[in-house]
Structure 1
Amino acid sequence: MRYIFSTMGFARAIMGVALGLSLMSTTVMAGSIDVSEAYVREVIPGQVNSAAFMSLANSGDADKVLVSINSNAAERVELHQHIHQQNNMRMEQVERVVIPAGEQFEFSPGGYHVMFIGVTSSLRAGENVEMSLQFSDGSAQQIDLPVVSIKHR
């Protein structure tokens, strides 16, 4: 059987294939993360570390997995949690944090938090810190957090 395409028909066929391929490679992100009550602690004079706290709400239909946070405000930014064992408290790095669909996850003092190790900027009250939340699905979300005085939190 012989197929003959007009120029217009051939162009439509090529566009259809290209559109189909581009739709196949498009990543569909499940839900969005709403950030609230977010702040970074002012650096105590003489210290080189700080912490950030926030509430993350997942309004999507699927869990979101936070795998890292990036910021130019520190040499390293890590996800941490406080562990209470036998009347001792210690911090431990965690590889990921799951924000369940339709729920909230809290980064708060004494619990999970974002650790700024080796701060590279002043982190004084009234300044802002840019951060990028990186998720396991390849998506990222840019946020801007205020630096607050340690006296007010």
Structure 2
Amino acid sequence: MRLVSLIAGLSVAALAACSQEAKAPEAAPVPTVTDAFIVMPAPGRDVAMGGLTLSVEDAPIWLTAADTNIADKTELHTMSMEDGVMRMRKVERLEATPIVPLELERGGAHLMFFGISDEIAPGDQAELVLTLTDENGKEQTVTTEAEIRAMGE
């Protein structure tokens, strides 16, 4: 009797295990970076801004850091009008969603570069490494090339 109960119990456990859906690990959002650029700093300065477009499929993603081989430090910034004055603020992250890509540009959210090399020229390319974080906290890095642009371009 005990053997029959043991076999029946094992059979039920095996059926339960087989009926559970195998869950594949969630894939990270797939980002696409286009139109990356860095504007030449004003003469005698080593601070500049840059931009890009970050698109993502399937799920939101946040740009949480950036780095480049031509500057000592890179920060994420926003611009907003407060009491008739344009204010620039450092932020910790900027969001891209499948519906609304993140557009970093002049006069809006952008990248700020400090300690820019004085050996760059319009038309050069700089490596830009972006750190992205998904809604589960998983990080990934994306490396792209940013075009060096003259002021006013």
> What secondary structure, in the 3-state scheme, does the structure 1 residue paired with 2:107 have?
coil
What's the offset of the Cα at 1:27?
7.5
Cα deviation per residue 1:102-139 (whole Å; 9 max; x = unaligned)?
43111011000000012135332011110111012211
Q: What pairs with 1:1-153 in structure 2 (closer than 5 Å)?
A: 28-30=27-29, 32-58=30-56, 60-136=57-133, 137-151=138-152, 153=153
Query: TM-score, normalising length from structure 1?
Result: 0.75
CA 106–98 in structure 1, closer or farther in 2 if over 3 Å, else same: same
- In the alignment, the residues of structure 2 paired with residue 122 and residue 107 of structure 1 have an alpha-carbon distance, to the nearest angstrom, of 24
% identity of equivalent residues? 23
User: What SS does structure 1 have at the residue aligned with 2:88?
Assistant: strand
TM-score where L is the length of structure 2:
0.75
2:76 touches 2:109 (CA, 8 Å); kept in 1? Answer: yes
Match of 1:16 in 2: none
Q: Helix, strand or coil: the match of 1:150? A: coil
User: Which secondary structure does the structure 2 equivalent of 1:83 belong to?
Assistant: strand
Contact 1:61 1:102 in 2 (8 A): no
1:143 aligned partner, one-letter code? T
Root-mean-square deviation (Å): 1.8
For structure 2, list consecutive stretches of 5 or more residues without a partner in the other structure.
Answer: 1-23
Structure number with greater Rg is 2
User: Matched residue of 2:115: which SS?
Assistant: strand
- Please state how far the C-alpha of 1:36 moved relative to its aligned partner: 1.9
Stretch deviating more after TM superposition (113-122 or 125-134):
113-122
Distance 1:78 1:121 in 2: 19
Whole-angstrom distance in 2 between the partners of 1:123 and 1:82 = 26
Instruction: Determine if contact 1:41/1:149 at 8 Å carries over to the other structure.
Output: yes
